[in-house]
């Protein structure tokens, strides 16, 4: 079978591709476990050669998800599994409304229409976000909480969720939506997401570099570790669609932590692992603070857990996993 990952050379897409490389297979359109013959990493820009951790089955494709013909040419196997991760993220979507609408909405529909044209009913996993919630919220946000997003990014994710539901109802696809909290720890450079600080508070200090936080230390956010997130995407893919019913979206299990607790965790793990930390300073940015404050800090994921998705042990484990996965030991 063919596996297509949009946003495939991004942080989450690449981690997912590496995890899939080590699997024996996935459930195919037939309903049976099938070997993965090809893993297609589709993104606007791709490296010249496949990144480490992949094998000969990996194929990198550079193109734009807003180009319908390119997407249809990409998804060219009836026995296909799709993980749709491509998106203009939070702060970037606020700065460029038209780009967000093009990539997040038009691009999302291009993917769904391409899958719809395949024989059978392929499974599609869509990466949504807890940014679909906003405004006046209960203390704990559940899957049934009303969506009132306060960002363009969140709005486009709500529409994406509804498209997944309706395309599934029509039996065009067998869709499922993973509503993600902030995924940490992202390696490399900061990106345009308002949540970028939640990785930066670990990444830069562990690299010995200074970190400037754009939010207060009291700020609380819902987070999930990269390993747990990837496992959740795959587990959700494997869930029988009948168990999801008409609402295909689930909150992934999250930890609720403050920025102060993040700082404490990175300091403790760094001391245990013998790593010197770069300095952390707090310089709140009102625009970033406003966006982050609009997101729910506490989420309930009983539905996901009932479907077999698990959560993280704690922040310290996430930091240790990041060091093991991405950093050379001193």
* 3-class secondary structure, 229: helix
CB atoms inside a 10 Å sphere around CB 243: 11
Is the confidence at residue 234, as pLDDT, over 50?
yes
Say which of 153, 167, 237, 322 is annotated catalytic: 153
User: So what's the pLDDT on residue 329?
Assistant: 52
- Considering the chain, what is the average pLDDT of its residues? 94
Contact 238, 312 (CB under 8 A): no
291 Cβ contact partners less than 8 Å away, ≥ 6 residues apart: 90, 91, 94, 150, 151, 194
CATH class of 2-181+224-252+298-312: alpha beta
- State pLDDT tens for residues 86-109: 999 878 888 999 999 999 999 999
- Pairing between β-strand 255-258 and β-strand 220-225 as defined by DSSP bridges: antiparallel
H-helix or E-strand containing 58? strand 58-62
User: So what's the pLDDT on residue 330?
Assistant: 47
- State pLDDT tens for residues 32-41: 999 999 999 9
Beta bridge partner(s), residue 41 = 5, 60
In the block, tokens 């044209």 appear at 117
- What pTM, to 2 d.p., does this model score? 0.94
CA geometry: angle at 78 spanning 74 and 84, to 5°? Answer: 50
Contact 126, 175 (CB under 8 A): yes
CA dihedral of 116, 117, 120, 126, whole degrees rounded to 10? -30
Q: Is 153 a catalytic residue?
A: yes
């Amino acid at each position: 079978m063919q596996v297509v990952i949009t946003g495939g050379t991004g942080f989450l897409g690449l981690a997912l591709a590496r995890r899939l490389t080590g699997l024996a297979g996935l459930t195919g359109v037939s309903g049976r476990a099938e070997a993965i013959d090809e893993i297609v990493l589709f993104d606007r820009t791709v490296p010249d050669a496949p990144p480490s951790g992949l094998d000969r089955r990996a194929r990198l494709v550079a193109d734009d998800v807003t180009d319908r013909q390119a997407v249809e040419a990409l998804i060219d196997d009836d026995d296909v599994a799709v993980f749709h991760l491509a998106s203009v993220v939070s702060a970037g979507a606020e700065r460029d409304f038209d780009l967000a609408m093009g990539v997040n909405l038009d691009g999302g529909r291009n993917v769904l229409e391409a899958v719809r044209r395949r024989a059978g009913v392929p499974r599609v996993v869509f990466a949504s976000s807890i940014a679909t919630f906003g405004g006046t919220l209960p203390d704990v946000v559940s899957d049934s909480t009303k969506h009132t997003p306060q960002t363009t990014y969140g709005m486009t994710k709500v529409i994406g969720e509804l498209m997944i539901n309706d395309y599934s109802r029509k039996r065009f696809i067998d869709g499922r939506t993973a509503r993600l909290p902030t995924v940490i720890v992202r390696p490399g450079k900061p990106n345009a997401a308002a949540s970028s600080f939640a990785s930066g508070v670990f990444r830069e200090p562990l690299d010995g570099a200074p970190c400037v936080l754009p939010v207060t230390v009291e700020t609380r956010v819902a987070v999930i570790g990269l390993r747990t997130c990837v496992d959740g995407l795959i587990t959700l893919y494997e869930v029988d669609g009948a168990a999801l019913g008409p609402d295909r979206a689930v909150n992934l299990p999250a930890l609720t932590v403050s920025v102060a607790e993040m700082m404490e965790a990175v300091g403790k793990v760094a001391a245990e692992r013998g790593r010197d930390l770069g300095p952390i300073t707090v310089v709140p940015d009102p625009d970033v603070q406003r966006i982050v404050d609009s997101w729910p800090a506490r989420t309930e994921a009983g539905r996901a857990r009932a479907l077999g998705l698990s959560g993280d042990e704690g922040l310290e484990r996430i930091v240790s996993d990041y060091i093991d996965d991405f950093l050379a030991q001193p």
